[in-house]
Structure 1
Amino acid sequence: MATFTAAVPAHADARQVDLRVASFNIRYGGGEDGVFDLDRTAAAIRELDADVIGLQEVDNHWGARSNNLDVAQELADRLDMRVRFAPIYDNDPATPGAPRAQFGVAVLSKHPIVSFTNHDLTRLSTQTSDPVPAPMPGFAEAVIQARGARVHVYSTHLDYRGDPYVRELQVADTLKILAQKDPGATQILTGDLNAPYEAPELAPLWGPLTASTPLDPTPSYPAGTPKSRIDHIAVSSGVTIRGSHVPDSELARTASDHRPVVADLTVPRGGR
């Protein structure tokens, strides 16, 4: 595994570290055209030049649509990055003895991941015919050591249904998990929240956290002709958002049915 370092400019504040963070719903590696192509997905991530990327809709031996691959690890290998995967669903394999069929979220990082937790959120399962809201995994927390800064990076995927009730429960769960950390912890939330910044069910987030979305509310979904901004990055107090954008390259338009979103941040050195 390569070691990733970056020179600190002479004028830089030694108490702070600059990070580029992205969020990307990769649709398991299936592009806007429906074609599974992990080389294209990796190229789309590479051109973001991000230190850390939260991924959503990630397959791990899930099935034929992604060639039964461990998509998170395949991308990490192509990009020479660290990765941790948090399954939402963890099903028995179709063939006895084969790897378990999993689907969830992940975190890619150029920097060391020193710990990782797969938290529960309230969900309505898509794997049963009559689901009820219940705790399920799939809220990833990667603690990353980035040039002297310890950063808690989260990747999440909230409920897609039109009724906001489950998202309301998930936002409440999210805030409880974030509040479990020390007051000085540096926290960055990335995810497909399946709702715009202005949605009432997301409003409780925008006090404890500051979203990058108001700096650039460019739509992110659907990728070809975006109409809605449902992918977001948000940060805890003490983190400065220096800029934000939604890429408009050929790869950003075609590698998934979502476009990635990017935020340039400055975080305090140290942390817990």
Structure 2
Amino acid sequence: MKLLSYNIQYGFGTDGHYDLTRAARVIDGADIIALQEVERHWSRTGHDDQPAMLEAMLPHYYTAYGPAFDMDASTTDGARVINRRRQFGTMILSRWPILWTRLHLLPMRRMITPLNTQNPALEALIVTPLGPVRVFSLHLAHVGVEERLTQIDHLLRLHAEVPQTGGPWSGRDDEPARNWTESQPEPPAPQTAIWMGDFNSEPGSAEHIRITGASPYHPGAVYAGGFVNAVAHLGQTLHTHEKIIAGVQRLRQLDHCFVTGDLAPHLRRAWTDNTETASDHHPLWVEM
């Protein structure tokens, strides 16, 4: 099973050109894909509906889209309103059906500068060859460590409460004539989970220690949050982002895959393609 996490920078490559087909080419072939920075109806991308375009380009995948940033982009032809929402968020694609999803809006602080926007964590239940797994595509804040730690604490609380909360619906349908559940049984909501996305933080950071409960470079430690950093667990060092900071070229791993401890024994390898130019991030692959 091949997992892929990829911040596609809304289709803009390192050459500054917009071409969503390049991102589609990169991700085709993975089994479960977590995308970040997928948008709808922005002028910079020709008002494209990127989730719909990716669905059309990758018709063999099940998909779900979770926008966190949402504003009005409606127009009028003089006779009627043409309703459109300008959206920015995360997306999950899967070889297997996505039985349910729910979008978590992560805590944020009001800012004067720089610009801050609502961050998402899209959760999906997928029955994989390893069993049912709750898969997240998430994008943590870029504005600072404290906001990211608050967001991580929120996600860890949600994770801890899963045995009590279950999935998006539970219980016996007491109005069968209305068929609220479409005759589907109560879906699984296991603690087994995979978090993938742009964490805007590096291995060894306070954010990663908060997720794992220990340094990610000590895979034998007890993980307070129940999560394992996949790349570090495999003893690898990768980078998924390159940026000049204070005149120095920095190679950073900002994109990560964390798995609950029960999945750690299934981790096989991780890699990225640092020659890929379809986005300012490089795709992170993890095989289980």
TM-score past 0.5 threshold = yes
Q: Which amino acid aligns with 2:240?
A: S
Question: Does the 8 A contact of 2:90 with 2:139 survive in 1?
Answer: yes
Deviations 1:16-74 (A, max 9, x none): xxx2111000000111111110111111112xx2111111111022x122221221221
Structure 2 residue 198 is matched with structure 1 residue 192: yes
| Aligned counterpart in structure 2 of residue 35 of structure 1, from 11, 17, 21 | 17
Alignment partners' CA distance in 2, 1:133 and 1:181: 29
Contact 1:89 1:103 in 2 (8 A): yes
1:118 aligns with 2:111: no
Of 200, 203, 212, which residue of structure 1 is paired with 2:209? Answer: 203
The reply to whether residue 172 of structure 1 matches residue 198 of structure 2 is no
Offset at 1:89? Answer: 0.8
Q: Is the radius of gyration larger for structure 1 or structure 2?
A: 2
Q: Is the Cα–Cα contact under 8 Å of residues 223 and 257 in structure 1 kept in the other structure?
A: no
Contact preservation (8 Å) 2:119, 2:140: no
Cα distance in 1 between the residues matched to 2:259 and 2:287? 11
Which residue number corresponds to residue 55 of structure 1? 35
Equivalent pairs, count: 237
Does the Cα contact within 8 Å between 2:74 and 2:84 map onto a contact in 1? no
Aligned with 2:105: secondary structure? Answer: strand
Q: Kindly provide the amino acid, as one letter, of the partner of residue 199 in structure 1.
A: S
- Aligned partner of 1:4 in structure 2 is none
The structure 2 residue matched to 1:109, chosen from 94, 109, 117, is 94
| Aligned mates of 1:153, 1:205 — CA distance in 2 | 16
Distance 1:30 1:130, change over 3 A: closer
CA distance in 1, matches of 2:120, 2:254: 18
Q: Distance in 2 between matches of 1:35 and 1:205?
A: 36
Range moving further from structure 2, 93-102 or 32-41: 93-102
User: Which residue of 2 is the match for residue 77 of structure 1?
Assistant: 56
Task: Check 1:226–1:115 CA distance in 2 against 1; reply closer, same or farther (3 A cut).
Answer: farther
Q: Hey, which bits of structure 1, 4+ residues long, moved more than 4 A? A: 128-134, 223-226
Q: Does structure 2 conserve the Cα–Cα contact (< 8 Å) formed by 1:58 and 1:104?
A: yes
Distance 1:209 1:91, change over 3 A: same
1:66-119, Cα deviation, whole Å (9 max, x unpaired): 221221221122112111111111101152423110001111111101100001
- Supply the distance in 2 between the matched residues of 1:109 and 1:223 (Cα, whole angstroms): 31
User: Aligned partners of 1:223, 1:142: CA distance in 2, in Å?
Assistant: 32
Instruction: Letter of the 2:203 partner, please give it.
Output: Y
Query: Which of 205, 222, 229 is residue 242 of structure 2 equivalent to?
Result: 222
Give unpaired runs (5+ residues) of structure 2. 77-81, 164-188, 213-222
Q: Cα gap change, 1:191/1:60 in structure 2, threshold over 3 Å: closer, same or farther?
A: same
Give deviations 1:213-264, integer Å, cap 9, x for gaps: 213221100289870001000101211211111124x4xx210000010111
Letter in 2 for 1:261: L
Cα distance change on mapping 1:209 and 1:29 into 2, 3 Å: same
TM-score of the pair, normalised by structure 2: 0.76
Give the AA of the match of 1:85: Y
Map of 1:99 onto structure 2: 84
Q: Which residue of 1 aligns with 2:270?
A: 244
Deviation per CA, 1:104-137: give whole Å up to 9, x if none: 1111111101100001211246xx7579999x56
Query: Secondary structure of 1:139's partner?
Result: strand
User: What is the alpha-carbon distance in structure 1 between the residues aligned to residue 47 and residue 36 of structure 2?
Assistant: 17
Instruction: Give the % identical residues.
Output: 29
Name structure 1 gaps, 5 residues minimum.
1-18, 266-272
Amino acid at match of 1:58: V
Q: Which amino acid aligns with 1:169?
A: T
Q: Which amino acid aligns with 1:236?
A: T
Alignment pair present for 1:20 and 2:44: no
User: Bigger CA drift: 81-90 or 219-228?
Assistant: 219-228
Task: Look up the equivalent residue of 1:107 and give its one-letter code.
Answer: I
Which amino acid is the alignment partner of residue 244 of structure 1?
A
